[in-house]
């Protein structure tokens, strides 16, 4: 069982004044936060890719390369790399380089992403949304298995007996697939024998049970051994010493980010009742003190039979001091208690 942290690189926006933190300050804080994660025993870190003013990170591999030089044990991956609008060759080379810098700790989490800004930015048409993902994921997997590649497709120039350098420390990288609520994506990952990270970022967690069952069935039906079965969830989370206090302090930041995203998607204003339900044992949030968080994480692990749990801790970008405290509590108290209970 692995317990880690995921971030999207949200920049802090003051709920009262609307003043936005600089991307420079936030990226420097992120490196400090990853360094602390490594020191307190967090198993892995995932960095998201976004191309918006309210996120500081457009290239996860750059952040991970920097983090590789100040950490020793923590796994370093994307969360996610938007494979649909990326060049799989360059993506593989970049993460191979992170792997070399970190002495074999890099991994890729490929996904469609939760936003669409990267498509026009890199010259892709949204009408090709599904085809782009399928073709580019297939090429990435080929690159990961073969040193020399011959390949042709619809959206990229062919490769003919092309050697791909550098190679990762062990010759290949762990590749995960991130999914939301799309059944076809879950089935594809199961067929391919790829580990899946489910994003549970709203509603009741029990609503996701059918997707987990579909994934496991697709995995087994395609002859993959359960010895290699890996599945995780990514959930919005934040931790503090006093449960109600941290919940009350975090709410304005979390609601602010939900409303910023919702404004472009036609969502109604975010309500405190949604937040409070999310914090309940049935909801999608892990926000509270150590004991509340341990109870919730154990419930999620047991509900879905997880091998990995990712706490997305920077939604709305709490201030750096509070982030560091949350990471400390997670690594020194929450993770040890969860693992002890699982034994």
Of the options 3.30.420.40, 3.20.20.30, 3.40.50.2300, 3.40.50.300, the CATH number for the domain spanning 2-342 = 3.20.20.30
Q: Which residue has the tokens 């300050």?
A: 25
Q: Report the pLDDT averaged over residues 212-234.
A: 97
Query: Which residues make beta-bridge pairs with 159?
Result: 151
User: How do residues 262-293 score in pLDDT, each as one tens digit?
Assistant: 998 899 999 999 999 999 999 999 999 999 99
Listed in sequence order, the residues at least 6 apart from 44 whose beta carbon sits closer than 8 Å to its beta carbon are 2, 4, 5, 74, 75, 76, 77, 107, 308, 310
What is the residue extent of each domain of the chain?
A: 2-342
Listed in sequence order, the residues at least 6 apart from 57 whose beta carbon sits closer than 8 Å to its beta carbon are 8, 9, 27, 30, 47, 48, 49, 50, 63
Taking the C-alpha atoms of residue 150 and residue 159, their distance in angstroms, rounded to an integer, is 5
pLDDT tens digit sequence for 160-201: 999 999 999 999 999 999 998 889 999 999 999 999 999 999
> According to the model, what pLDDT value does residue 250 have?
97
pTM equals 0.97
Kindly state the helix (H) or strand (E) to which residue 191 belongs, with its residue range. Answer: helix 183-192
**Pairwise CA distance, residues 139 & 86, whole Å:** 11
| CB of 125 closer than 8 Å to CB of 119 | yes
Q: Is the pLDDT of residue 16 over 90?
A: no
How far CA 199 is from CA of 26, 113, 117, 145, 196, in Å, comes to 24, 11, 19, 27, 10
Average pLDDT over residues 86-107: 98
């Amino acid at each position: 069982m692995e317990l880690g942290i995921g971030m999207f690189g949200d920049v802090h926006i003051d709920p009262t004044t609307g003043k936005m933190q600089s991307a420079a300050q936030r990226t420097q804080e992120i490196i400090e936060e990853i360094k602390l994660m490594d020191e307190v025993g967090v198993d892995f870190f995932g960095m998201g890719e976004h191309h918006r003013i309210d996120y500081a990170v457009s290239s996860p591999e750059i952040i991970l390369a920097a983090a590789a030089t100040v950490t020793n044990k923590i796994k370093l991956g994307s969360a996610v790399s938007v494979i649909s609008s990326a060049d799989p060759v360059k993506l593989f080379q970049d993460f191979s380089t992170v792997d070399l810098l970190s002495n074999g700790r890099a991994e890729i989490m490929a996904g469609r992403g939760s936003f669409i800004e990267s498509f026009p930015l890199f010259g892709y048409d949204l009408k090709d949304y599904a085809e782009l993902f399928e073709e580019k994921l297939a090429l990435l997997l080929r690159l990961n298995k073969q040193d020399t590649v011959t390949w042709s497709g619809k959206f990229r120039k062919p490769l003919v007996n092309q050697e791909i350098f550098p190679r990762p420390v062990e010759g290949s990288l762990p590749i995960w697939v991130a999914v939301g609520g799309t059944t076809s994506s879950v089935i594809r990952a199961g067929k391919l024998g790829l580990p899946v990270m489910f994003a549970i970022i709203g509603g009741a967690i029990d609503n996701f049970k059918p997707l987990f069952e579909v994934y496991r069935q697709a995995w087994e039906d395609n002859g993959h051994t359960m010895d290699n079965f890996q599945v995780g969830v990514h959930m919005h989370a934040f931790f503090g010493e006093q449960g109600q206090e941290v919940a009350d302090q975090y709410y304005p930041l979390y609601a602010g980010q939900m409303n910023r995203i919702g404004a472009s998607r036609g969502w109604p204003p975010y309500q405190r009742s949604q937040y409070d339900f999310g914090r309940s044992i049935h909801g999608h949030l892990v926000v509270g003190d150590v004991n509340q968080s341990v109870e919730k994480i154990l419930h999620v692990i047991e509900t879905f039979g997880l091998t990995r749990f990712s706490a997305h801790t920077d939604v709305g970008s709490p201030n750096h001091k509070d982030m560091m405290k949350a990471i400390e509590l997670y690594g020194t108290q929450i993770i040890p208690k969860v693992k002890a209970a699982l034994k």
